[in-house]
Structure 1
Amino acid sequence: MRWIPIMNCRPGMRLAKKIYNEEGMVLLQEQVEMTDTFIRRLIERDVSYIYVEDERTEGIVAPDLLSDETRIMANKAIRQQFMQHMSDGRARKRRLDHDMDATVSGMLDNLVHDISKHNKAMVMLNDIQTTDHYVFRHSLNVCVYTTLFGVYHGYERDQLKLLSMGALLHDVGKMHLDPLILNKTSPLTKLEFDMIKKHAEYGYRILREDPNIPRIVAHCAYQHHERLNGSGYPRGLTSDSIHEFAKWIAIADSYDAMTTNRIYRPAMLPHEALEILYTGSGTLYEQWMLSLFRDRIAVYPLGMSVKLSTGEIGIVAEINSDYPQRPIIRVLYDAEGASVPLGTELDLSQLLHIMIVEMVDVE
């Protein structure tokens, strides 16, 4: 399979990986032939990239982190909880008594179980899903990233579940913001940005008042925009005053926001987002946490087409777990643009003089 930006998709290409709808159900199956209509609708629904079939990439497979059952449960839980937290008071609390136990708790058990099976895998969210609400998809992505890093860090299952819940609900306060400001395409005014920043406080109050939500989960919502040097919000907390869970969520939140299409800008590539995160190492984010993030994140996704410093063009065929920034490249074209025999691969962890210089579109 080959990873391509949706803008590079052409009619006649065939999907190599499922695309899911907003509820986590399969929208388009593998081997579906893409049409102008499919491409246009996926762009409209904020899909950034897809995987397509390519005989030159045979054997390159991006694994799913979540089972179909868990994905459906997660999407249902996010929508249910966020929408119910928009309801007022008494009616909301009555419903949550049952729903928290039946939906969120069970879903988190499944999610932790699925992710724990990938404790040696490189982090790469391969599930492709349309969305009708950015916050819902972002919340699931941040939950998956944060849970993965909780597994890598070695948290016990009970702690993992708390961390996952905190990540899942970290942005629940945004449901109380004006959608016109939240979805504004032009730069925010200072007043509008101050209103956006209120979501951390709103989320804390909402979750603190819910008898089914552990207090630490409420603090994850409260603190996920705090930064080590005190430059964050809403309280300007510094390093030791910020809970460790909130520090993990802050990294995942920033990374997913940068690598996802937004109303006001296109998605960054993973390695670009990682470079920006590292500019805040030790000042905004814990250096040791960023180091673990860097060592486990697949900055060049499987199937991505890249150009090397030698002029050769190829596909990312395998991620080196010890050196994720230096994957194995299946070469397709030499420096002159001539096709090379299939099976020619370069292990960049062994060829330190060769660098990936850019992502390219391969026909």
Structure 2
Amino acid sequence: MKYVHLDSVESGQYLGRTIFASNGSILLSEGVQLTVFMINTLNRIGVTMIYIQDPNLEDVEIPEILSEETKRIVMQQMGQTFAAIQSGKEFNSRSMSISINTLLDEVMKNRDVLIQLTDIRTKDNEMYVHATNVCMMAVLIGINMGFSETQLKELAVGALLHDVGKAELLFDDESLDLKRHHTWRGFELLKSKREFSLLVAHVAFQHHEAMDGSGLPRGLLSEDIHVYAKITAVANMYDNLLFDISLGRRMMPYEACEHMMALAETKLDRDILIQFLKIVSIYPTGSSVRLSSRETGVVVGQHRGLPSRPIVRIVKQDTMDRELDIKEIDLAKHTTLFIEQVL
């Protein structure tokens, strides 16, 4: 599979990964042959990047921490939760807890897989994809930090529901009244949920605080911010830098990591950032890159602990006999070669 911008997709190509709606239903299934109408529809609903099948990459597997079924279950549960809150009803904490247990089991099983945030987003599902990604990253960081099973469950619930205050669309988050900020609203919604630890509510409350006291809504200093909220803040910022267009230009993973490292000890916790950098794929499998040798290729493999030195497949066609010349360059071994650009 190849991860490409929608603008470069042509009619007749085959979709490499299923696209889900916000309620967990399937919009387009993996393997469907794309038509002009489908491509235009994807553009209209806000899709920018998709996976397409590539005959030169059929053997390349993109490891996933969460299965498509688990993502569907979690997104469906998030949709039901937000719908209940918007209608003034109580959301089902037990169902949410069951969904999170499923997510935790899969993350624990696939803990050695590097994070690649390449799920296909639409305007309809982006909030739920964001919540799922933040939860997944937070749990992996918690595992690296040696958290207990109970702590991981608390962290997972808090991270998944960190933006639950946005479900109440009664006020604008940019209001000068900070008690109307979504962090306050999330805290108020979660603190009365006896099924959840009070720490879950504090994740929603504190995930926009900063180490130097410049955050929202209360301007807390580092020592007053709970570690769950610090972890969620790192995961939340990374996903937003990659996908939230309201922040400006969307960053590539390597750019986002560099940006976040520059914020260590002012906005983000340095020790948590170190653990985060161990779980993320800077150059996701399937992405096209240009090397310092001027050759272009596709990332086909990763090295845990060496996220900036992936394996790149170069495919060239001989103009004389039209045969394909395929080679793979392991940047962990070719130390004088570097990735110059993500295409």
RMSD: 2.5
In the other structure, the counterpart of 1:186 is none
1:17-63 C-alpha deviation (Å, 9 max, x unpaired): 22222222332222211122211222222323111111222321212
1:153 partnered with 2:145:
yes
Amino acid at match of 1:125: L
Q: 1:64 to 1:121 in 2, by over 3 A?
A: closer
Q: How does 1:278-357 map to 2 (within 5 A)?
A: 278-333=261-316, 341-357=324-340
Aligned residues: 340
In the other structure, the counterpart of 1:114 is 106
Residues 63 and 113 of structure 2 are in contact (CA less than 8 Å); yes or no, is this contact kept in structure 1? no
TM (norm. structure 2) is 0.91
1:166 partnered with 2:158:
yes
1:112-163 C-alpha deviation (Å, 9 max, x unpaired): 0111111111111343343415433322221122122223333222211111
How far 1:15 sits from its partner (Å)? 1.4
In the other structure, the counterpart of 1:185 is none
Residues 24 and 129 of structure 1 are in contact (CA less than 8 Å); yes or no, is this contact kept in structure 2? no
Measured in 2, the distance between the counterparts of 1:193 and 1:324 equals: 41
| Larger CA deviation: 132-141 vs 219-228 | 132-141
Measured in 1, the distance between the counterparts of 2:149 and 2:334 equals: 40
Measured in 2, the distance between the counterparts of 1:164 and 1:43 equals: 32
Q: 1:14 to 1:266 in 2, by over 3 A?
A: farther
1:260-300 C-alpha deviation (Å, 9 max, x unpaired): 15357553211111111111012211112112212221111
TM (norm. structure 1) is 0.86
In the other structure, the counterpart of 2:231 is 248
| Larger CA deviation: 310-319 vs 32-41 | 32-41
Measured in 2, the distance between the counterparts of 1:317 and 1:292 equals: 24
Residues 119 and 129 of structure 2 are in contact (CA less than 8 Å); yes or no, is this contact kept in structure 1? no
How far 1:178 sits from its partner (Å)? 5.2
1:304-359 C-alpha deviation (Å, 9 max, x unpaired): 1111111111110101112111101111259xxxx995441111122222111112
In the other structure, the counterpart of 1:34 is 34
Measured in 2, the distance between the counterparts of 1:265 and 1:208 equals: 33
Residues 65 and 111 of structure 2 are in contact (CA less than 8 Å); yes or no, is this contact kept in structure 1? no
Q: 1:17 to 1:292 in 2, by over 3 A?
A: same
In the other structure, the counterpart of 1:11 is 11
1:179-217 C-alpha deviation (Å, 9 max, x unpaired): 8x56xxxxxxxx657669711111111211333332101
Residues 290 and 341 of structure 2 are in contact (CA less than 8 Å); yes or no, is this contact kept in structure 1? yes
In the other structure, the counterpart of 2:67 is 67
Structure showing greater relative contact order (alpha-carbon pairs closer than 8 Å, 6 or more residues apart): 1
Amino acid at match of 2:254: H
1:214 partnered with 2:202:
no
Q: 1:350 to 1:152 in 2, by over 3 A?
A: same
Residues 164 and 204 of structure 2 are in contact (CA less than 8 Å); yes or no, is this contact kept in structure 1? yes
| Identity of matched residues, % | 32
Q: 1:78 to 1:224 in 2, by over 3 A?
A: same
Measured in 2, the distance between the counterparts of 1:317 and 1:44 equals: 30
1:79-136 C-alpha deviation (Å, 9 max, x unpaired): 2222323344xxx3xx44xx211x1011011000111111111111343343415433
In the other structure, the counterpart of 1:76 is 76
How far 1:67 sits from its partner (Å)? 2.8
1:245-270 C-alpha deviation (Å, 9 max, x unpaired): 00110011111111115357553211
* 2:112 alignment partner, SS class: coil
1:202-237 C-alpha deviation (Å, 9 max, x unpaired): 111121133333210100011000111111111111
Amino acid at match of 1:35: T
Amino acid at match of 2:300: A
Measured in 2, the distance between the counterparts of 1:117 and 1:126 equals: 20
Aligned mate of 1:125, from 117, 122, 131: 117
Measured in 2, the distance between the counterparts of 1:342 and 1:166 equals: 50
Measured in 1, the distance between the counterparts of 2:67 and 2:311 equals: 27
In the other structure, the counterpart of 1:100 is 93
